[in-house]
């Protein structure tokens, strides 16, 4: 059992708080949309800047709905402000952390994904092999073997769900957005053609976990040649 360092625990706490505020902000928005929909008022597509104006436009002439809307908008405003403050703090930490700066040289990896991964790994040397990282974060398939039965199931989903989600989001960015000259993207797209995009994203997330650990262990930036070797293995 690895006891994480105090800095890693502090970053994890910031990441958890940020995610909580982000989720609650979204929950308030969706609840407000649901309340208005019950009265036949459809909010429709909005941006963070146009959301408030659209809500107030819809509740004009409805005193009760105006009261409800203003209360929820006030809560949303506070949640959004605190969320952005933590976001700013985390991005500042990412700029100051040499390990995160290494990781964001990899495609699909930004400040939040980098911080999430670094704080979860903490000490790269605690893993004997980079291959073990995928299993550690629950990104390897479950196996059931008994006699002549050998069944490969879905990924185990053991370990840190936050890291698993971050790696999946990074894989999604690689496969769905323009990424030039990336062996990881080429490998993922070939797999998607055979097994489907969803499985390809999970598999690419597992490969990315291995590559990022190797980068931390070696102290090197992302190198396409090394990534290609990891993919080949």
| Alpha helices (H) in 122-177, listed in sequence order | 132-136, 161-176
More confident residue, 231 or 4: 4
Q: What is the pTM of this model?
A: 0.86
| Spatial CA neighbour of 70 closest among 20, 21, 28 | 28
Task: Check residue 169 and give its pLDDT.
Answer: 95
**Residue 74 phi, psi dihedral angles, 5° rounding:** -65, -40
Task: Check residue 215 and give its pLDDT.
Answer: 95
Task: Check residue 53 and give its pLDDT.
Answer: 96
Task: Check residue 140 and give its pLDDT.
Answer: 87
- Summarize pLDDT for 189-200 with one digit per residue, the tens: 999 999 999 999
- Summarize pLDDT for 123-147 with one digit per residue, the tens: 999 998 999 999 999 998 876 656 6
Alpha-carbon distance of 177 to 87, in angstroms, equals 23
């Amino acid at each position: 059992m690895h006891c994480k360092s105090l800095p890693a625990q502090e970053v994890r706490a910031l990441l958890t708080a940020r995610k909580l505020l982000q989720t609650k902000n979204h929950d308030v928005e969706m609840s407000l949309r649901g309340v208005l929909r019950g009265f036949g008022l459809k909010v429709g597509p909005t941006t963070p800047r146009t959301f408030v104006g659209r809500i107030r436009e819809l509740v004009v002439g409805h005193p009760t709905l105006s009261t409800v809307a203003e209360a929820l908008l006030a809560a949303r405003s506070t949640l959004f402000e605190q969320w952005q403050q933590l976001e700013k703090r985390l991005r500042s930490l990412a700029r100051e952390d040499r390990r995160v700066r290494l990781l964001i040289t990899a495609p699909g990896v930004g400040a939040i994904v980098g911080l999430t991964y670094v704080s979860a790994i903490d000490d790269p040397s605690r893993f004997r092999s980079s291959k073990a990282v995928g299993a550690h974060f629950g990104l390897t398939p479950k196996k059931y073997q008994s006699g002549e039965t050998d069944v490969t199931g879905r990924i185990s989903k053991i370990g840190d769900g936050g890291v698993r989600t971050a790696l999946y989001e990074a894989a999604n960015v690689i496969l769905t957005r323009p990424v030039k000259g990336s062996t990881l993207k080429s490998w993922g797209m070939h797999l998607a053609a055979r097994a489907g995009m969803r499985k390809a994203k999970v598999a690419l997330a597992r490969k990315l976990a291995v590559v990022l650990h190797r980068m931390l262990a070696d102290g090197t930036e992302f190198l396409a040649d090394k990534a290609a070797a990891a993919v080949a293995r």
